[in-house]
């Protein structure tokens, strides 16, 4: 479908740009562009400017690599948080997810990926030395490794754990188990097995 170019270059360019976004195909891109034409001009200007501002003004926290508008991100700058507790995650998205739980009051260390020889990503391509530096400089009592399971994630966790083993810091990982509201019969057996092994006292 839509192999013919759209007759209006302005529209074509908007559609082509929108299509670069993940999971937005040609039909959706056209629908979004035509939607903007029906809305006040201010809305489109707000959207366009917000995206450009995000991309051009964003920085990465000097301490934890989370995105930030300042040199230090709001979490690292927050004196009410427990800076002796560092949670190591793969991505910015993970930090946002953990913050949403409202259960965590420590700080983070964003790796931006995992060790993946297949993709040519070695330990030196990730800010692992920076993490060790944070721990070595003192004040950290526990490092929680919250990296996804799977071979690459496990390799990364193992590697970090080994580097930290000499520092005396406590290294933990997040609990794995059957999710709240999930049926046992739908859980994969690795998860269910983990859930039984790491059982906790009933309230």
67 touches its own copies (CB under 8 A): yes
11 touches its own copies (CB under 8 A): yes
Q: Which is nearer to its own copies, 36 or 121 (CB)?
A: 36
Q: Which residues contact 86 (CB under 8 A, 6 or more apart)?
A: 106, 107, 108, 109, 131, 134, 135, 140, 142, 143, 144
182 touches its own copies (CB under 8 A): no
Least separation in angstroms between residue 127's CB and its own copies is 16
Q: Contact at 8 Å (CB) between 99 and 91?
A: no
Calpha distance 88→82 (Å, rounded): 14
How is 42-103 classified by DSSP, letter by letter? HHHHHHHHHHHHHHHH-EE-TTT--EESSSS-HHHH-TTS-TTEEEEES-HHHHHHHHHHT-
From 52-60, 139-147, 157-165, 181-189, span contacting its own copies (CB under 8 A): 52-60
Least separation in angstroms between residue 46's CB and its own copies is 5
> Which residue in 51, 151, 190, 196 binds its own copies (CB under 8 A)?
51
74 touches its own copies (CB under 8 A): yes
Range 78-97, binding its own copies (CB under 8 A): 91-93, 96
Least separation in angstroms between residue 7's CB and its own copies is 5
Q: Which is nearer to its own copies, 52 or 190 (CB)?
A: 52
The total of other beta-carbon atoms located within 10 Å of residue 142's CB is 15
Calpha distance 23→7 (Å, rounded): 24
> Which residue in 50, 129, 151, 174 binds its own copies (CB under 8 A)?
50
Interface residue list for its own copies (CB under 8 A): 1-4, 6-11, 13-14, 16-18, 20-23, 28, 30-37, 39, 41, 43-58, 67-69, 73-75, 91-93, 96, 99-100, 102
């Amino acid at each position: 479908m839509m192999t013919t170019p759209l007759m209006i270059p302005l529209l074509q360019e908007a559609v082509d740009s929108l299509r670069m976004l993940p999971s937005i195909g040609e039909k959706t891109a056209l629908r979004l562009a035509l939607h903007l034409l029906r809305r006040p001009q201010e809305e489109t200007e707000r959207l366009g400017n917000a995206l450009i501002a995000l991309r051009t003004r964003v920085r990465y926290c000097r301490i934890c690599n989370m995105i930030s508008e300042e040199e230090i991100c709001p979490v690292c700058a927050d004196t009410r948080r427990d800076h002796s507790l560092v949670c190591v995650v793969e991505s910015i998205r993970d930090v946002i997810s953990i913050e949403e739980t409202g259960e965590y009051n420590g700080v983070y260390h964003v790796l931006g990926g995992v060790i993946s020889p297949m993709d040519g990503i070695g330990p030196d391509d990730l800010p692992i030395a920076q993490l060790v530096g944070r721990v070595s400089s003192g004040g950290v009592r526990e490092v929680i490794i919250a990296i996804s399971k799977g071979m690459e994630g496990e390799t990364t966790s193992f590697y970090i754990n080994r580097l930290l083993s000499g520092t005396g810091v406590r290294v933990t990982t997040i609990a794995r188990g059957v999710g709240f509201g999930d049926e046992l019969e739908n859980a994969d057996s690795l998860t269910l097995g983990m859930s039984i092994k790491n059982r906790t006292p009933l309230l």
